[in-house]
């Protein structure tokens, strides 16, 4: 069986695991107050060129989105997102369970467009009855998006401009950030993200760690954010688990190096799909490839390959996803290509 | 100034007010345990031909929607509604503040179509990852809708069929129910609504009462619904306020009689709009008339008439609403028509 | 049957009802934007000697407590209250349902003592692990308390001092405020309350109105408080219902005048209880009288008098409550005394 | 520096870490659908002698308490706990943030007594106004308790009897369960816990794992519990992280074997404290030792030993905690004893 279902089927990348092993019996501070967490934060600040950032480590994407959004918003506020956004569709109502509406705007290639956000905000404040409605209090984007697409630097800048104009923070979900940063043709760097966003997170779970996401508040964290983490059930007693992993990921550029493997293998795979005449659902420059398959073909491929159902395309076709990762071996790509 | 802004600019209809005056100094049970509340419930059950119904009185539409939906749903469930539904747009996130997502489907003339709901539900359960998503736990419709339109008996039956098939209750928001029941051409009666819905409410605030909505659970109320009302801040110490009003509204058919006035006056007004060549935004058979006005015309009319901004149509046009009610006087309609 | 169960068994006091009748057919602004609400707010500001106050009308005590506390607190904050406080015991978890812990301190005659609050707050911040705990964000008191007792001016000042020291607002629940203000021997006036509290409410439901509580933010209301009201299901479409009632209650000193009747009749009744050798559970200077009855005696009295079960005293005795109100007639007191 | 601050200052116990290393590059199912999670569940069922149990792995104590309580309770329900319970004091209001009141009863040596719970429940249902109050929907205990004390089998049975009588489930927080099971003199086994509780969790974070708690529903899990986990941000994409660890902990009796070390070292330490005349705050049979120190003595000890502030005792004394764990070395105990 070949696994291309997602980018979290293996454990940690070897260097990260090694760091866990090496530090295992050290007696360390708890709840994030350990030397590795402190060191990781410094390294991330440096990588972001954002010396004043405040950084916290959480343990998964939905948990991070819920905790950050809930801590930033007031009770009467909601968060603007593309209709395809992870918080809108695939987090089991986590944001709403914390009391906040996800205000969805149409997605364009999985992205929230600055002009759509601006139009929504302008019309909202022009609507006499807006005080009876959910007040938009944040903009949420993901990079890469749910469809593996990427914002350009200009698009981020435009979103940032809208967010400043309406005084609502811009939050970037970077569950797969490494793959976005290493994609061919992107002009967006980590310091750009730190520059344009008020808060974002650097995903570890899908990029080489066993678990862990690094939340970066580029200006200032919300008051008592530590307590919000605890209240959300997101505080690890052994905070070292995240700290050690991120400390290693941000040593010797490891985070980007391992991300590169996913891009390289995806590129090879995309080339094969193209050559074999497969139909792409969307042109994704990162590690996720979305293909429209005839249902019968899908059943055939399923016998040897594990990939993801994405969404129904029409009665006879389905959109499926093949994902590569830091762990994908070139030999498996070759095997997969033979089966296509 | 002529008031056509909405259907709640006056107090109570005279008969209802008189009942409040007459009973004012009686010492009565509290929290809804008074004789008038009891009597009102019996009369409503009779009017609904639903002897087993369980009835509670609440005080406003958003409060009722929030309390009912929160009591019926489990934490992991959301409520399906048309994108134009009141709970989706104009309740300041009340449903989300209780933890529940409003799952929006496209509206057709303000209505949720049974086929759209069924498609959504079928696709939902066919999606491998649906356990990561908000589980649909209820269907919400309003009758009349936000656009003053009405479901047919067949449409209600179809929605009921879908709701039974997927075992999720059907909830009808009847904030303006009287106006729906008295509309020309409707084939939907109060017993029909009781037959097809698991829970609905009969609006008082917009139909002759100072305040008050009668929630009818046609089968069985949720366990401890009284406590849920209290927890939602919706329990009136002087429950008589709602009880006395509904007791009177459901005596001598008053609820429907006063509703008729809104329909009659709206009909006359619609005729005038048509004759004068106004452009209708939608064909509404009830007491709300939606007109597309050139912005300059809108400004002119505003000088003498108070009506509602509804939504932007395009850069030069706006959708506005004129509403009649139980209190609308024919002479005011005549005056308004002169100004058009 | 004689009704002494509580202070809300009748409707509105005649003058208030008359105002509702008189204004009933006027076309007025909605959602609180009517001339009577505006006028009532001015009169209340004057009565409070607090010209900068921001005032909102809500519809019941639990609703008001929930809406105010939720709008003032951040998600990680809780509210300090006496263990006997209404929000701690008798609001069906309304505060918790909005996400906030009620932090209970021992009650002394129903009151929260400034020294207890200060000790709690000092110890809290001295506890190394306080960031893992609910951050105290507000102090809640009621005046009169659940046991009908009253704070002295000095006690309010001391609570205010603690609240300023720890920068957490002081909130006073005045569901029965009129009865407190008219009690014999109290040195607390409405302007005193406005001076020492950051927010309080003037109860209408239990003091002459059909419903309605006036929330007074003495400095500044929370941002978007109107939206919070809507989100909590607490916004009346016909805001006039509260506005007209409070406008009348605060005309010609009516609120205090009608409160006086409750105090006068309670005084007479207390005298009789004393003379007949009844055992008082607590010495309450307002309109609620708490008596410890032998259970057999309780059963006897129940035959002709409706009073409230308050709490179990011991296996053979029960604490019961007799309440007077603006509506209590002296002849009923005389009848009651005969039955004792 | 000697670390006795808590039982989570080291990483994983070597065998558990080795299992993570060994399985690291295997491609496994996600979100808990991996072979190690499946195997771990079977082993736990066997250890509990509870073949019908349904088991889920979560990642921390507060997260587990919040997720379980929220999934089991209805919105109008609260959870009964000892006033010293972790959910009552040290979870930053996590339970309340999910909408539920923690109903606190007096603790006796950190324990909730069956008779106190029964009295509360009986009085609650005898109180006429209980429908205005939070309905008790669950009983929460921890074993060991916050003070390291243990329930006897009889005490568990009695609590279970009360829980059955009032039809509210009994939930046992076993964050340190291993240390409880290995304590000298306890008559409570894992199958006993499975027998008397409706749901409990076996703590991994404090007993040999990097993270992870195994939730055991002894009868049936709540409907859609998987979705509740996701909604609470508690679903690990790499569920293997918990699965592999618990699979190892429940192989060859490892969980109990490593727990024994904590008990053995604590025993030695307690003996030394006694011999040196230290004052015990409470007699705890598990791995936590609570000592009352004069403040000056505390400052002296702090220079070489890290222990926990527990609570203020009086103006001159403080309660502190020394904790041993699976990782405590006898040589460190010897060093510590020399410093006392």
- For the stretch A175-203, pLDDT in tens is 999 999 999 999 999 999 999 999 999 99
Looking at D253, D282, D309, the residue that finishes a domain is D253
| pLDDT confidence of residue A211 | 98
Contact D10 A3 (CB under 8 A): no
Longest dimension (CA), chain A: 62
Residue given tokens 């089927």 in the structure block: A9
Residue B115 burial class via C-beta count within 10 angstroms: exposed 0-12, middle 13-18, buried 19 and up:
exposed
Contact C309 D99 (CB under 8 A): no
Give me the phi and psi of D132, to 5 degrees please: -95, 5
Task: Name the residue facing B99 among A96, A133, A311 (closest C-beta).
Answer: A96
Give me the phi and psi of B294, to 5 degrees please: -65, 145
Contact A224 C99 (CB under 8 A): no
Contact D90 C129 (CB under 8 A): yes
Average pLDDT, rounded, for chain C: 97
Strand, helix or coil at C305?
Answer: strand
Chain A: nearest CA to B281, how far in angstroms?
A: 18
- Give the residue from D108, D195, D186 showing the smallest Cα distance to D150: D186
Chain C: nearest CA to D249, how far in angstroms?
A: 29
C-alpha dihedral, A201 to A203 to A205 to A206, nearest 10°:
150
Residue given tokens 């369980």 in the structure block: B54
End-to-end CA distance of chain B: 14
> For a pLDDT cut of 70, what percent of chain A falls above it?
100
Contact B90 A132 (CB under 8 A): yes
**Is D229 in the same domain as D278?**
no
Rounded Cα distance between C84 and C144, Å, is 12
Higher-confidence residue: D250 or C128?
Answer: D250
List chains touching B (3+ CB pairs under 8 A). A, C, D
**Is B54 in the same domain as B188?**
yes
- Among A67, A68, A97, A227, pick the best mutation site for testing chain C contact (most C Cβ within 10 A): A227
Residue A44 has pLDDT above 90, yes or no: yes
**Is A199 in the same domain as A282?**
no
- Give the residue from C340, C338, C322, C334 showing the smallest Cα distance to C5: C322
**Is D215 in the same domain as D282?**
no
Residue C1 has pLDDT above 90, yes or no: no
**Is B248 in the same domain as B290?**
no
Q: With bands split at pLDDT 50, 70 and 90, how would you rate the model's confidence at C301? A: very high
Looking at C230, C252, C274, the residue that finishes a domain is C252
Q: Is the ipTM of this complex over 0.95?
A: yes
Rounded Cα distance between B142 and B154, Å, is 15
**Is D205 in the same domain as D284?**
no
Chain A: nearest CA to D44, how far in angstroms?
A: 23
Looking at C252, C269, C297, the residue that finishes a domain is C252
**Is B124 in the same domain as B218?**
yes
Whichever domain contains B91, its CATH number is 3.40.640.10
**Is B175 in the same domain as B225?**
yes
Residue A1 has pLDDT above 90, yes or no: no
Contact D10 A17 (CB under 8 A): no
Q: Which helix (H) or strand (E) holds D323?
A: strand D317-323
Measured between beta carbons, the chain B residues lying within 8 angstroms of A311 are 127
Chain D: nearest CA to C93, how far in angstroms?
A: 5
In a domain, D16, yes or no: no
- Among D92, D132, D321, pick the best mutation site for testing chain C contact (most C Cβ within 10 A): D92
**Which residues does chain D have with pLDDT short of 50?**
none
- The DSSP letter of residue B108 is B
**Is C162 in the same domain as C303?**
no
| pLDDT confidence of residue A145 | 98
Q: How far is CA D310 from the centre of its chain?
A: 17
Give me the phi and psi of D242, to 5 degrees please: -75, -40
Whichever domain contains C324, its CATH number is 3.90.1150.10
In a domain, D179, yes or no: yes
Q: Which domain holds residue C205?
A: 26-252
| pLDDT confidence of residue C145 | 98
Pairing of strands A213-217, A54-58: antiparallel
Sequence-separated contacts (24+) of C292-295 with Cβ below 8 Å: C292/C317, C292/C318, C292/C319, C293/C317, C293/C318, C293/C319, C293/C320
Average pLDDT, integer, range C263-286: 96
Beta bridge partners of A108: A111
Give me the phi and psi of B57, to 5 degrees please: -105, 125
Exposure on the CB side of residue A263, measured as CA atoms within 13 A: 21
Q: Could you read off the pLDDT of A117-141 as tens digits, one per residue?
A: 999 999 999 998 999 999 999 999 9
Residue C188 has pLDDT above 90, yes or no: yes
Task: Name the residue facing B227 among D98, D131, D230 (closest C-beta).
Answer: D131
Residue C157 has pLDDT above 90, yes or no: yes
Average pLDDT, rounded, for chain A: 97
Average pLDDT, integer, range C186-206: 98
Rounded Cα distance between B71 and C219, Å, is 36
End-to-end CA distance of chain C: 14
| pLDDT confidence of residue B1 | 87
Task: Name the residue facing C75 among A131, A228, A235 (closest C-beta).
Answer: A228
- The DSSP letter of residue C108 is B
In a domain, D322, yes or no: yes
Contact B97 A75 (CB under 8 A): yes
**Is A261 in the same domain as A291?**
yes
Contact A63 D30 (CB under 8 A): no
Contact C228 A76 (CB under 8 A): yes
Using beta carbons and an 8 Å cutoff, which residues of B are at the interface with D? 70-71, 74-76, 98-99, 131-133, 135, 223-224, 226-228, 230-231, 235
In a domain, C287, yes or no: yes
Contact B231 C21 (CB under 8 A): no
Task: Name the residue facing B224 among D76, D98, D228 (closest C-beta).
Answer: D76
In a domain, C264, yes or no: yes
In a domain, C17, yes or no: no
Rounded Cα distance between B290 and B309, Å, is 10
Residue A112 has pLDDT above 90, yes or no: yes
Alpha helices per DSSP H over A51-113: 61-72, 86-89, 94-97
Contact B70 D75 (CB under 8 A): yes
Measured between beta carbons, the chain A residues lying within 8 angstroms of B106 are none
Chain D: nearest CA to C117, how far in angstroms?
A: 16
Task: Name the residue facing A100 among B75, B96, B311 (closest C-beta).
Answer: B96
- Give the residue from chain A lying closest to C134, CA to CA: A227
**Is D247 in the same domain as D282?**
no
In a domain, C21, yes or no: no
Burial annotation C83-118 (CB, 10 A radius, 16+ → b, else e): ebbbbbbbbbbbbbbbbbbbbbbebeebbbbbebbb
> For a pLDDT cut of 70, what percent of chain C falls above it?
100
**Which residues does chain B have with pLDDT short of 70?**
none
| pLDDT confidence of residue D1 | 87
Give me the phi and psi of B80, to 5 degrees please: -80, 135
Measured between beta carbons, the chain D residues lying within 8 angstroms of A208 are none
Measured between beta carbons, the chain A residues lying within 8 angstroms of C76 are 71, 224, 227-228, 231
| pLDDT confidence of residue B24 | 98
Assigned token pair, A327: 């762990």
Q: Could you read off the pLDDT of A283-308 as tens digits, one per residue?
A: 999 999 999 999 999 999 999 999 99
Count structural domains, chain C: 2
Measured between beta carbons, the chain C residues lying within 8 angstroms of B210 are 20, 238, 241
**Is D198 in the same domain as D58?**
yes
In a domain, C150, yes or no: yes
């Amino acid at each position: 069986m070949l696994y291309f279902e997602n980018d979290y089927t293996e454990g940690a990348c070897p260097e990260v695991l090694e760091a866990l092993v090496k530090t295992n019996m050290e007696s360390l501070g708890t709840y994030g107050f350990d030397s590795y967490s402190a060191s990781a934060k410094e390294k991330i600040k440096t990588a972001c060129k954002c010396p004043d950032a405040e950084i916290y480590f959480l343990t998964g994407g939905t948990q991070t989105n819920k905790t950050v959004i809930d801590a930033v918003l007031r009770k009467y506020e909601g968060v603007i997102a593309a209709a395809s956004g992870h918080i809108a569709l695939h987090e089991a109502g986590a944001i709403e369970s914390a009391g906040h509406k996800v205000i969805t705007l149409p997605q364009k290639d999985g992205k929230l467009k600055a002009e759509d956000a601006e139009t929504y905000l302008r019309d909202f404040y022009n609507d006499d009855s807006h005080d009876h409605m959910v007040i938009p209090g944040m903009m949420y984007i993901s990079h890469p998006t749910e469809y593996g697409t990427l914002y350009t630097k200009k698009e981020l800048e435009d979103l940032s401009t809208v967010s400043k104009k309406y005084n609502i923070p811009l939050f970037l979900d970077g569950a797969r950030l490494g793959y976005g940063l290493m994609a061919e043709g992107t002009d967006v760097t980590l310091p750009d993200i730190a520059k344009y966003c008020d808060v974002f997170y650097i995903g570890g779970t899908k990029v080489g760690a066993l678990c862990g996401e690094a939340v970066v508040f580029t200006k200032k964290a919300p008051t008592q954010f530590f307590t919000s983490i605890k209240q959300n059930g997101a505080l690890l007693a052994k905070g070292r688990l995240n700290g050690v992993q991120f400390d290693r990921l941000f040593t010797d550029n490891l985070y980007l190096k391992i991300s590169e493997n996913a891009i390289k293998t995806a590129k090879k795979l995309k080339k094969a799909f193209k050559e074999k005449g497969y139909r792409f659902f969307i042109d994704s420059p990162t590690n996720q490839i979305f293909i429209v398959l005839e249902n019968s073909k899908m059943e055939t491929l399923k016998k040897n390959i594990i990939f993801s159902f994405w969404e129904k395309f029409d009665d006879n076709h389905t959109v499926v996803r093949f994902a590569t990762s830091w762990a994908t071996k070139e030999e498996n790509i070759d095997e997969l290509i033979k089966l296509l």
